[in-house]
Amino acid sequence: MKPLLFLHFIFLQTLLYSTLASTTNQMLVLPLKTQEIPTGSFPRSSNKLPFHHNVTLTVSLSVGSPPQNVTMVLDTGSELSWLHCNSTSTNSTSTRPMFNPNTSSSYSPITCSSPTCMTQTQDFPIPASCDSNQHCHATLSYADASSSEGNLASDIFGIGGSNVPGTIFGCMDSGYSSNSEEDFKTTGLMGMNRGSLSFISQMKFPKFSYCISGSDFSGMLLLGNNNFTWLMPLNYTPLVQISIPLPYYDRAAYTVKLQGIKVSNKILPLPKSILEPDHTGAGQTMVDSGTQFSFLLGPAYNALRNEFLNQTSRILRVLDDPNFVFQGAMDLCYLIPVNQTSLPSLPSVGIMFGGAEMSISGEKLLYRVPGETRGKDSVWCFTFGNSELLGIEAYVIGHHHQQNMWMEFDLEKSRIGFAQVKCDLASQRFGLYN
């Protein structure tokens, strides 16, 4: 099944922190896009889920001298930012957006003797090495078993009219190819996790926030401090940090403490042992903007699935097709008449963290599968999946369940804050929409 493709425009609102060049705190607007990318057209790093397709949040900016326009996926689950590079054609003549290092006078490869080349990151399943020019050579592996190679480099990144020199990224120029038209809309990935090479770490922002509408995907992303009195108080949950490396634990991820799950007001009887990482690091809970839906470990998923199924037995018709599993991990789907304009009232799902609870309700609980119908019915699937069916031993909270929430990632105080908010109204307050 190949999903229908769609492209919506949203906007990025950027509040620059005073560490950027010589600028003072200011508010700048950048364009963002939300796009659905089908199978194989956009590679994921080795620790990402192998989705059949994925809706991604993308930001447009410029790189190099003179500046070249690039489009990058905003991903809080990855560290190294990277671009598809092409040293033989320029962006102005290439069908697919690519970065051409040969035309940038400010482009500088990282040497293999540089401390940067020796930085340990989970993004590199194979340690960086030297190429024939003594440049730092990196290999990235993807969930579909493909890989991409290139050099670490630095260049000027242009953010809303402010130029940030010396930004380190991967210039990936071999090993990956795709014939999909959607691949021609994205140049690379902007890593936003807590690793030292991530974009947010290099920019030295103390925090960033975003808000995505559930209806038209209008929204905003703010980089830097924000003290807006009109924002309701955020509920904060601390980021979990461990001092020792564990084989299945990503220490650079935005990891929070999962304390429970409930459907309506019924708390699921889940033992604490399955809600926290074990001695190998398996079982951490990550908040990830680079993942569309949310995925739970098998026992937690099964308990949630059964309770949601029980509470919706009188209002929804289950799709009885054992051969259909959406995205390989979402096996609870329903039949809803094609001409039905709204969903029935659904029981909410509460994800309980230390100090805060994320309430998921309404249309965020079911997703209409593009192109899937059964007679006069469309197919809608429960927006939680079983991560173990994907070979991932972790809980992942995707951006679909973050819609119409103000999400704040506070690196300075090591916490994540969130609150329910109408993101389209928030955008209007920033003058983004009429």
Catalytic residue ranges = 75, 288
For residue 397, the one-letter residue type is I
Cis? peptide before 101, omega within 30° of 0: no
Report how far residue 259's alpha carbon sits from residue 270's, in angstroms, rounded to the nearest whole number: 9
Contact (CB, 8 A) for 256 and 277 = no
- Residue tagged 């808000």 (tokens): 211
- Token digits of residue 433: 């929409």
DSSP 359-385: EE-GGGGEEEEEEEEETTEEEEEESEE
Q: How far apart are the first and last CA of the chain?
A: 38
- Backbone φ and ψ for 185, nearest 5 degrees, come out as -110, -10
User: If you ran DSSP here, which 8-state letter would residue 301 be given?
Assistant: H
For residue 33, the one-letter residue type is K
**Angle ∠(255,197,68) on CA atoms, nearest 5:** 120
User: If you ran DSSP here, which 8-state letter would residue 25 be given?
Assistant: S
Report how far residue 262's alpha carbon sits from residue 258's, in angstroms, rounded to the nearest whole number: 12
Spatial CB neighbours of 60, under 8 Å, sequence gap ≥ 6: 30, 31, 32, 33, 69, 70, 71, 72
User: If you ran DSSP here, which 8-state letter would residue 308 be given?
Assistant: H
Contact (CB, 8 A) for 257 and 354 = yes
Contact (CB, 8 A) for 195 and 204 = no
Buried b (16+ CB within 10 A) or exposed e, 270-307: beeebbebeeebbbbbbbbbbbbbbbbbebbbebbbeb
Report the sign of the C-alpha dihedral through residues 221, 226, 229, 234, in that order: positive
Helix (H, G, I), strand (E, B) or coil at 199: helix
Report how far residue 232's alpha carbon sits from residue 425's, in angstroms, rounded to the nearest whole number: 13
Report the sign of the C-alpha dihedral through residues 247, 253, 254, 260, in that order: negative
